[in-house]
Amino acid sequence: MGYVDVAGVGFVLPDGRELFSDVSFRVGEGAKVALVGPNGAGKTTLLRMVAGDLAVPVGTVARSGGLGVMRQFIGMIGDDRTLADLALSLVAPALRDAGSALADADAALQSTPGSEKAQLRFANALTGWGEAGGYDAEVLFDTVAVAILGKPWDEVRTRPVRTLSGGQQKRFALDLLLRGGDEVLLLDEPDNFLDVPGKRWLETRLRESPKSVLYVSHDRELLAQTATRVVAVEGGSAWTHPGGFASWHEARANRHERLLESRRRWDEEHEKLRELVFTLKQKATFNDGMASRYQAAQTRLRKFEEAGPPPLPPKEQSLRMNLRGGRTGKRAVVCTELELEDLTFPFDLEIWYGDRVAVLGANGTGKSHFLRLLAAGGSAPDADNKPVDGAPLAHVAHSGTARLGARVRPGHFSQTHDRPELLDRTLVEILWRGDDHRSGMDRAGAMKALNRYELAAQGDQRFGTLSGGQQARFLVLLLELSGATVLLLDEPTDNLDLASAESLEEGLRAFEGTVIAVTHDRWFTRGFDRFVLFRGDGEVVETPEPVWDVR
């Protein structure tokens, strides 16, 4: 069986700031260890160091057994890879290289079918594929394709990843890793994009798996159901709770009390030593016999201070999201005989100013397509309700109409954070030199806004280098500044830590406008008063309370 040992690991960001230091923990054979902590604390960085994607400049990382890795974002919008490419990215490097060589040789053969050189190259690549275990892998790919997509591998292998929903992509990757031969798995936000039945499926599979799993998640129910121990990354280091997530909060509170008590005692001892040195100094001025005692006290104080104080508990997060909105017409959204192509039957829906609408349903039923249609201004927009924020949106094939009401200005939050125009720009540049509706903000104003979202330290950091949770917080800030009067939120809590999710919920309660959110977060949904269910049979209906299992 496989294991992971992390000992004394540290990491310094490119700008010279220390992200964390002296991180040590172990993932034993068959253990399910959860990494938790605030957004930006370094959880994904730790996973990348364990995976070998990042060098380990301080400390050591030891692994045993094959390693399977699922990264935070897979199948981003605009990703032109096929399902075969995705499958190969999740297998062992040797098999991945053999698969790439076979694909290249096949492409060369197709372009020059009569070439003896191309035929020989293809034959050699085919032999290499077989020797690397490719045929066994194809059996695995077929098993997973049938289980997740209901179709054999030969029918779906060339399908573009972007045509699958986020949940389908995640389940395909997770099932492949959990069925595969790797003994150690690293999973970064494995529950993101999964519907509630999908999360329950994942909980069961993790509990039943004999593999050693290190994973990052902010879903409290999944953590409670699966984690055998918890590693908390916070305050510039990490500590391990040997129990499950259910007892972690109490253990964290007790630890903070112990840290405060240790610091209080250190401060008291420090003050006593300083007073002793001061007293002996005065006495030594008049009594040469006290000089040796004064020097000894000085040495004792110096060593005490060099050892340093015990750490304080990490500072609690304090996010302030000032989502404002504005008054619109009574009808914010009116859908008439709206049918999303190959996804839903025609449906009617009216959403009124001030409504909080949770859009529920299984993965692949059209929920995100519905939000993208509204974010693009609807199918029959008025002149004054054009989108004010978000990346350019692809056309959503549909019939019927989705009309936005008077003075409705949609602001869209995408579940995949697909904002390529932001990737290479720093947060201050985006706010300071951004679009017209933000052009009046100077650097001081930008830093003030970032500080409310606890992103001031990342002000000069490029958007593309932020953690998933930091990106999510910044995108919510852009919505706040955009002047949107209807918020279209696609899985907004997926990458947010607990404090950030609670702040978002408070901000939405104070928002003067309409909120329409696609979510599979059972806790987040409590703040909504209307529930629209996209059923697997194509029907779209309103329900009096949340429905998680569409069966």
> Model confidence over 74-129: pLDDT tens digits?
655 446 788 999 999 899 889 999 999 998 898 888 888 778 888 899 899 999 99
* Strand, helix or coil for residue 520: coil
Domains 3-75+164-243 and 331-543 in one fold: yes
Question: In this predicted structure, what is the pLDDT of residue 387?
Answer: 52
Question: In this predicted structure, what is the pLDDT of residue 437?
Answer: 45
Question: In this predicted structure, what is the pLDDT of residue 79?
Answer: 62
User: Could you tell me the fold of the domain covering 3-75+164-243?
Assistant: Rossmann fold (3.40.50)
Q: How confident is the model at residue 182 (pLDDT cuts 50, 70, 90)?
A: very high
Q: Which residues contact 459 (CB under 8 A, 6 or more apart)?
A: 426, 427, 428, 446, 447, 450
Q: How confident is the model at residue 295 (pLDDT cuts 50, 70, 90)?
A: very high
The residues pairing with 358 across neighbouring beta strands, listed in sequence order, are 517, 531
Task: Tell me the residue type at 326.
Answer: G
Question: In this predicted structure, what is the pLDDT of residue 438?
Answer: 44
Q: Of 110-114, 212-216, 327-331, 430-434, give the range with the top mean pLDDT.
A: 212-216
- The residue-averaged pLDDT of 376-391 equals 56
Q: How confident is the model at residue 389 (pLDDT cuts 50, 70, 90)?
A: low
- The residue-averaged pLDDT of 359-381 equals 84
Question: In this predicted structure, what is the pLDDT of residue 436?
Answer: 42
Per-residue pLDDT at 391 exceeds 50: no
- What whole-number percentage of the chain has pLDDT above 70? 93
Q: Which residues contact 279 (CB under 8 A, 6 or more apart)?
A: none
Per-residue pLDDT at 52 exceeds 70: yes
Query: What angle separates helix 93-111 from helix 134-149, to the nearest 10 degrees?
Result: 90
* Lookup: tokens for 172: 């395909």
Q: How confident is the model at residue 433 (pLDDT cuts 50, 70, 90)?
A: low
Q: How confident is the model at residue 353 (pLDDT cuts 50, 70, 90)?
A: very high
Number of Cβ within 10 Å of residue 68's Cβ equals 25
* Integer Rg of the chain from CA: 28
Per-residue pLDDT at 153 exceeds 70: yes
Domain layout of the chain by residue ranges: 3-75+164-243, 250-307, 331-543
Q: How confident is the model at residue 488 (pLDDT cuts 50, 70, 90)?
A: very high
Per-residue pLDDT at 384 exceeds 70: no
Q: How confident is the model at residue 404 (pLDDT cuts 50, 70, 90)?
A: very high
| CATH architecture, domain defined by 331-543 | 3-Layer(aba) Sandwich (3.40)
Question: In this predicted structure, what is the pLDDT of residue 71?
Answer: 84
Helices (H), 112-239: 116-131, 134-149, 153-156, 166-179, 196-208, 220-226
Q: How confident is the model at residue 209 (pLDDT cuts 50, 70, 90)?
A: very high
Question: In this predicted structure, what is the pLDDT of residue 395?
Answer: 63
CB 485 within 8 A of CB 325: yes
Condensed to tens digits (0 to 9), the pLDDT of residues 308-351 reads 888 888 877 666 777 787 888 899 999 999 999 889 999 999 99
d(CA 177, CA 215): 13
Task: Tell me the residue type at 59.
Answer: G
Q: How confident is the model at residue 514 (pLDDT cuts 50, 70, 90)?
A: very high
d(CA 70, CA 44): 11
- The residue-averaged pLDDT of 210-238 equals 92
CB 523 within 8 A of CB 220: yes
Q: How confident is the model at residue 444 (pLDDT cuts 50, 70, 90)?
A: confident
> Rounded to an integer, what is the distance from CA 112 to the centroid of its chain?
44
Question: In this predicted structure, what is the pLDDT of residue 25?
Answer: 96
* Lookup: tokens for 154: 């030969």
Per-residue pLDDT at 498 exceeds 80: no
Pick from 4-8, 16-20, 494-498: least confident: 494-498
Question: In this predicted structure, what is the pLDDT of residue 40?
Answer: 80
The mean pLDDT value of the chain amounts to 87
